[in-house]
Amino acid sequence: MGPLSLPDVSGYDEMILPGGKVRDAYKGYHRWLLGQVHDGLLRKRKEAELQFHRVGITFNVYGEESGIERLIPFDALPRVIPAADWRRLEQGAIQRVRALNLFLHDIYHDQAIVRTGLVPAEQIFGNAQYQPCMQDLDLPNRVYSHISGVDVIRDGEGTWYVLEDNLRTPSGVSYMIENRRMMMRLFPELFAHQSVAPVEHYPSLLLETLQESGNGPNPTVVLLTPGRFNSAYFEHAFLAQQMGIELVEGADLFVKDGFVFMRTTAGPQRVDVIYRRIDDDYLDPLAFRPDSMLGVPGLLSVYRDGNVILANAMGTGVGDDKSIYPYVPDLIRFYLDEEPILANVPTWQCRDPKALDHVLAHLPELVIKEVHGAGGYGMLVGPAASRAEIEAFRERLKARPANYIAQPTLSLSTCPIFVEEGIAPRHIDLRPFVLSGKETRLVPGGLTRVAMSAGSLVVNSSQGGGTKDTWVLEDGSC
């Protein structure tokens, strides 16, 4: 097989313009690509798979036989973001996370947002993610979400939208780092000729964020994992190792005399900051789910006394719930007195009778989501649904309108990937990771997820989605 040709694209493609030219940000990469042959790139792909298996980057799949691990498909064609686009994304993500942290502080203290009537009280206090145990608790730097994943997409016109915020235990950052390492190993020459902003310092920024989230100097920081059966266990082990901190499970920690201790061969050692990758409900079996031993009995009492820091804080889920999402632009205006830099996807809240009328009249064009649902359950994708499915959903919607939101069906932008036959466009999204300590910041990049089959909009790794390296170009290079 010979040199590669670029495919035709429809809609917004990150690399290719209608008519076959490439965008400015891809010019450098494209020059390099013209010198490559297809077989050579396929060989590189094999090499990458082998390497990923060797370093153990695998992914546990829920619902399959236990112990099954598989690779998340890696695509070697980078997603390139021009410097100017990134600056806007960066500012927008920081703005959003700052507003969400202020919102969380507010609802767990004075509740100005409720008193002014901007968000109805039952949307907050009736939400199962609002944790009564957080009410009136003061947190250092007033930070609730230390690590936030802000999922963004471009639509068919190339406009950026925030799809959702992840303020609980967002995962995927290890792929951002490993994908870059892999690209540098496979194609070192690419990085010699272009200024791609580095992402390798993420673990040290994360450690700094965790350290400054505590009260005193030199805090002992640990990473609390649910264990090796968790789908993100590789990432937990990876980040702990990169930061040089202990990776612990619930049984390695205990509570005594108002503090949290870690069992070590040298005796109990006090723990000051816990980077927890366990959901709220499992953190303390004495306060939450009694049937789970993943957490630490007594942890909540120490946390409420201010003697240990949890990152992220408990009760952040009320900030990233689908029922709160439509309010985020207003939250930015309310808390920061700024206009939102990044747009929300227009959302109809079916609890509002006027919105419901509109939604019922346009079901075949819309995506309807359950307010508290996740992972695509209880969802209607109008354009892909049959007449009967739409009518059945109409009844559910009428019966419990407050349980649903509706959005237009967006066509995600595409980015080319390497396939057996050559190069083909696939839909993508992007998750940058925002760190909030004394200040709010992010490394230039993120996790780009790819729907690996043609036309598919599903980028979730649990459903066969893949990843690719994300390049933020530094100024002056194109």
Instruction: Please say which residue, 111 or 477, places its beta carbon nearer to other proteins.
Output: 111
Instruction: Please say which residue, 121 or 361, places its beta carbon nearer to other proteins.
Output: 121
Instruction: Please say which residue, 136 or 421, places its beta carbon nearer to other proteins.
Output: 136
Length of the chain: 478
Distance CA 349, CA 358 (A): 10
Distance CA 45, CA 76 (A): 7
Which amino acid appears at position 4 of this protein? L
Pairing outcome for strands 246-248 and 221-224? parallel
CA angle at 272 for the pair 110 and 213, rounded to the nearest 5°:
50
Distance CA 82, CA 471 (A): 8
Instruction: Please say which residue, 23 or 304, places its beta carbon nearer to other proteins.
Output: 304
Find the part of the chain contacting other proteins (CB under 8 A) among 2-10, 64-72, 253-261, 318-326: 253-261
Question: What is the smallest separation between the CB atom of 104 and other proteins, expressed in angstroms?
Answer: 15
Contacts 24+ apart (CB under 8 A), 300-305: 300/133, 301/255, 301/258, 302/255, 302/258, 302/259, 302/260, 304/133, 304/137, 305/258
CB atoms within 10 A of CB 73: 17
Site for other proteins, residues 442 to 471, rule: CB under 8 A = none
The answer to whether 276 touches 224, Cβ cutoff 8 Å, is yes
Does 293 bind other proteins (CB under 8 A)? Our answer is yes
Among 55, 68, 118, 251, interactor with other proteins by CB under 8 A: 251
Among 16, 239, 247, 287, interactor with other proteins by CB under 8 A: 287
Of 23, 80, 40, nearest to 472 (Cα)?
80
Question: What CA–CA distances, in Å, run from 435 to 207, 253, 445?
Answer: 10, 26, 13
Longest dimension (CA), the chain: 70
427: tokens are 């839909």
Which amino acid appears at position 231 of this protein? S
Question: What CA–CA distances, in Å, run from 126 to 27, 54, 111, 130?
Answer: 52, 47, 14, 8
Site for other proteins, residues 256 to 275, rule: CB under 8 A = 256-258
Does 286 bind other proteins (CB under 8 A)? Our answer is yes
Instruction: Please say which residue, 25 or 271, places its beta carbon nearer to other proteins.
Output: 271
Does 306 bind other proteins (CB under 8 A)? Our answer is no
Site for other proteins, residues 106 to 125, rule: CB under 8 A = 111, 121-122, 124-125
Find the part of the chain contacting other proteins (CB under 8 A) among 28-36, 145-153, 211-219, 283-291: 283-291
Instruction: Please say which residue, 124 or 224, places its beta carbon nearer to other proteins.
Output: 124
Question: What CA–CA distances, in Å, run from 406 to 119, 171, 280?
Answer: 18, 26, 28
Per-residue interface string for the shown chain with other proteins, residues 125-144, x marking contact by CB under 8 A? xx-x-xxxxxxx--------
Query: Could you give the 3-state DSSP secondary structure of residue 275?
Result: strand
79: tokens are 């997603």
Question: What is the smallest separation between the CB atom of 132 and other proteins, expressed in angstroms?
Answer: 4
Find the part of the chain contacting other proteins (CB under 8 A) among 162-170, 194-202, 284-292, 427-435: 284-292
Instruction: Please say which residue, 316 or 436, places its beta carbon nearer to other proteins.
Output: 316
Among 7, 297, 401, 408, interactor with other proteins by CB under 8 A: 297
Among 82, 298, 317, 340, interactor with other proteins by CB under 8 A: 298
Find the part of the chain contacting other proteins (CB under 8 A) among 255-263, 349-357, 359-367, 405-413: 255-263
317: tokens are 């889920």
Instruction: Please say which residue, 162 or 287, places its beta carbon nearer to other proteins.
Output: 287
Which amino acid appears at position 464 of this protein? G
Of 374, 230, 236, nearest to 294 (Cα)?
230
Find the part of the chain contacting other proteins (CB under 8 A) among 139-147, 213-221, 286-294, 458-466: 286-294
Q: Which residues lie across from 153 on neighbouring strands?
A: 161
Question: What is the smallest separation between the CB atom of 135 and other proteins, expressed in angstroms?
Answer: 6
Question: What is the smallest separation between the CB atom of 261 and other proteins, expressed in angstroms?
Answer: 9
Site for other proteins, residues 313 to 352, rule: CB under 8 A = none
Find the part of the chain contacting other proteins (CB under 8 A) among 70-78, 225-233, 291-299, 440-448: 291-299
169: tokens are 């235990």
Instruction: Kindly determine how many residues on this chain lie close enough to bind other proteins according to the rule CB under 8 A.
Output: 32
Among 8, 24, 305, 338, interactor with other proteins by CB under 8 A: 305
Does 374 bind other proteins (CB under 8 A)? Our answer is no
Question: What is the smallest separation between the CB atom of 81 and other proteins, expressed in angstroms?
Answer: 42
The answer to whether 93 touches 342, Cβ cutoff 8 Å, is yes
Does 255 bind other proteins (CB under 8 A)? Our answer is yes
Instruction: Please say which residue, 255 or 452, places its beta carbon nearer to other proteins.
Output: 255
Distance CA 454, CA 469 (A): 20
The answer to whether 4 touches 381, Cβ cutoff 8 Å, is no
Site residues, other proteins (CB under 8 A): 111, 121-122, 124-126, 128, 130-136, 251, 254-258, 285-287, 289-290, 293, 297-298, 300-301, 304-305
